[in-house]
Amino acid sequence: MTSSSTTDRLRIVLLGYIIRGPIGGMTWHHLQYLLGLRALGHNVLFLEDSDDFPSCYDPSRHVVDCDASYGLKYADSVFRRFNLSEKWAYYDAHCDSWHGPALNDAIPFCKEADLLINVSGVNPLRDWTRSTERRAFVDTDPVFTQIAHLNNESKYLRAAAHNLFFSFGESISRGEASVPQDGFRWQPTRQPIFLDAWQTTNTISSAPLTTVMQWDSYPAAEYQGQRYDLKSQSFADFADLPRMRSEVFEIALGGHAAPREELKGHGWQITDPLLVSRDPWTYQEYLRQSKAEFSVAKQGYVVSRCGWFSERSACYLATGRPVITQETGFSDHLPTGHGLWAFSDPPSALAALDALNSGYHKHCRAARDIAEACFDSSQVLSSLVNRAMNARLQDGRSSGEAK
């Protein structure tokens, strides 16, 4: 098939990260692609791969290893709740075995599929997934993804097994971002929000400003003398904000290196991210019980001005909770000033807080309006699918500019 419209019913393979990452926020990140594509009428199979190294997180044992037992039970529970119990499979490369209700259908489905979407590029392509003609890589970590491709040949070759490329770095394709060129033609996309799963609730103006974050997700990246750092680097400039306003600032904070006691000394409340993200519903409830989100962004997003916007922040908006977050260039693509603010320094962060409090309930309504106008899965995924089905395929392995 060479063309598509939103009325076509396509067979789509969705490669995601739920079994190996069985936590609430990560689940929503990938699950909303599945729910949104199904709502558009497509026949979608969720497929996950163990990869070839220990990558299964088990929060009950606080370990990462090759044992997917926890994740398989977790996925079964999640998919059943969304009436998707027959639409997923997991390939365990460590013992060459298949799991999940669709284990016998996975390879034939891939061979007949119209489109494959690899969210975050987090799954390797095997013989059966390479058999799908149109294979889309969705980059959700712009600048860090491109630098990884430039600095690591094996990661470049994994990406080059795809032939369609989309990025949350919405400014890359416009030439407005200082993101190193890795040879792939990145098209803009953003997180889809399946709005039916995110009903607004009564707002709580006295609740804390919250966020869920990792202090350091991985080492900082460097390319041609430029360093691209993480949230830990961004946070220093804003550490004293709780002392400047009579607000409760709370972080569900992950990361062994996070200076929790030091942050508490600056006035931040710290909570356990595993309790918040135990499953999709505890995560959703945490957002609902918040006044708004206040969050910094990875310093690499900020310095590159790539236009990235957080999938988590999109969920806050969908819940009717305003978002105050650090500028990455996203204000070039999303409406700000009502329900959503971009800050670049402490004075602009404080100004956003004052604006929030000057008309809190109005800004809650505006937050939901932004989610409906900009992140509705029916719009985001229709655009992605239509472009993927009509685009000229890129042979990444011969694009060559980066290698």
pLDDT at 26 over 60: yes
pLDDT-derived band at 396, boundaries 50, 70, 90 = low
pLDDT at 403 over 70: no
**Block residue for tokens 């926020």:** 25
The mean pLDDT of the chain is 95
pLDDT at 73 over 50: yes
If you average pLDDT over residues 81-101, what whole number do you get? 97
User: Measured between alpha carbons, how far is 369 from 349 in angstroms, rounded to an integer?
Assistant: 22
pLDDT-derived band at 395, boundaries 50, 70, 90 = confident
User: Measured between alpha carbons, how far is 387 from 5 in angstroms, rounded to an integer?
Assistant: 9
Task: Give the single-character DSSP code of 125.
Answer: -
> What domains appear along the chain, each with residue ranges and CATH number?
11-192+377-396 (3.40.50), 195-374 (3.40.50.2000)
User: Measured between alpha carbons, how far is 343 from 151 in angstroms, rounded to an integer?
Assistant: 31
Q: How far is the CA of 398 from the CAs of 116, 156, 161, 184, 401, in angstroms?
A: 20, 12, 11, 10, 9
Enumerate helices (H) and strands (E) in the chain, giving the number of each. 15, 18
Which SS3 state, helix, strand or coil, does residue 156 take? helix
Hey, how many other C-beta atoms are within 10 angstroms of the C-beta on 201?
15
For residues 360 and 217, the model is more confident at 360
pLDDT-derived band at 8, boundaries 50, 70, 90 = confident
User: Measured between alpha carbons, how far is 191 from 32 in angstroms, rounded to an integer?
Assistant: 8
User: Measured between alpha carbons, how far is 312 from 30 in angstroms, rounded to an integer?
Assistant: 12
H helix runs in 236-359, sequence order: 260-265, 273-276, 280-288, 299-304, 311-318, 346-358
Specify burial of residue 236 (Cβ count, 10 A radius: 0-12, 13-18, 19+).
exposed
**Beta strands per DSSP E along 25-151:** 43-49, 56-58, 63-65, 88-92, 97-99, 115-119, 135-139
- Provide the residue type at 4 as one letter: S
Q: CB-based contacts of 266: which residues, under 8 Å, 6+ apart?
A: 239, 240, 242, 243
Selection from 27, 28, 121 nearest residue 314 by Cα? 28
pLDDT-derived band at 203, boundaries 50, 70, 90 = confident
If you average pLDDT over residues 282-301, what whole number do you get? 97
Q: What pTM, to 2 d.p., does this model score?
A: 0.95
* Contact indicator for 346, 237 with CB cutoff of 8 Å: yes
Specify burial of residue 127 (Cβ count, 10 A radius: 0-12, 13-18, 19+).
exposed
H helix runs in 95-218, sequence order: 106-112, 127-130, 144-151, 153-160
User: Measured between alpha carbons, how far is 296 from 238 in angstroms, rounded to an integer?
Assistant: 8
* Contact indicator for 90, 100 with CB cutoff of 8 Å: yes
User: Measured between alpha carbons, how far is 53 from 38 in angstroms, rounded to an integer?
Assistant: 31
**Which strands, in side-by-side order, build the sheet including 209-214?**
269-271, 249-254, 209-214, 292-295, 323-326, 340-343
Specify burial of residue 114 (Cβ count, 10 A radius: 0-12, 13-18, 19+).
buried
Share of the chain above pLDDT 70, in %: 96
